[in-house]
């Protein structure tokens, strides 16, 4: 073990182009609660979470959409408690016009029990909602690489 000890992800910060639109997506569609907002001129941000625990910070300081060809965030994955919750999220996202990388729940790899849905936020950031089990019968879109790797 390192001298630092065990580290866990505390929260994720995303740069967004339109804070109000992103709050609508992450709070209105994905169900995060707004814990705090700052809307001072030129310094707009929001802290979002669940059960009072910070999960995601949104910073309105981007000028363009997500670019998968640049170094940085590859994708952001959220774990759901069951595959049924994943399919419920998919239905809600479809109803709100989200764009998807694959149709329906897909397995993380051929024969894997874990799987989920892969989609994009309003700025094009790649997102995933998955469950650790329940995707046993789902196909994997890529045979030679993890499903989440190249969407």
pLDDT digits 0-9 by tens, 46-92: 999 999 999 999 999 999 899 888 989 999 999 999 999 999 999 99
Largest interatomic CA distance in the chain = 51
Which residue reads 């700025």 in tokens?
Answer: 123
The phi, psi pair for 98, rounded to 5°, reads: -65, 150
What is this structure's pTM?
0.91
Distance, first Cα to last Cα, the chain: 33
Q: Is the dihedral of CA 92, 98, 104, 108 positive or negative?
A: negative
**Torsion angle in degrees (nearest 10) through CA of 108, 110, 112, 116:** 30
What tens digit of pLDDT does each residue of 9-48 get? 999 999 999 999 999 999 999 999 999 999 888 789 999 9
- Element containing residue 77 per DSSP (H, E): strand 76-79
Please, how many CA atoms are within 13 Å of residue 17, restricted to the half-sphere of its CB? Answer: 10
């Amino acid at each position: 073990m390192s001298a630092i000890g065990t580290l866990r992800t505390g929260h994720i910060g995303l740069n967004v182009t339109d804070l109000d639109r992103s709050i609508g997506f992450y709070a209105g569609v994905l169900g995060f609660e707004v814990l705090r907002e700052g809307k001072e001129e030129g310094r707009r941000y929001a802290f979002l979470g669940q059960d009072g625990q910070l999960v995601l910070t949104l910073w309105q300081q981007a000028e363009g959409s997500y670019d998968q060809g640049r170094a940085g965030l590859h994708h952001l994955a959220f774990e759901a408690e069951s595959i049924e919750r994943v399919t419920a999220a998919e239905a809600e996202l479809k109803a709100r016009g989200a764009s998807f990388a694959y149709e329906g729940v897909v397995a993380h790899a051929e024969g894997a029990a874990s799987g989920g849905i892969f989609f994009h936020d309003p700025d094009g950031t790649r997102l995933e909602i998955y469950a650790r089990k329940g995707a046993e019968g789902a196909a994997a879109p890529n045979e030679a690489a993890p499903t989440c790797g190249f969407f």
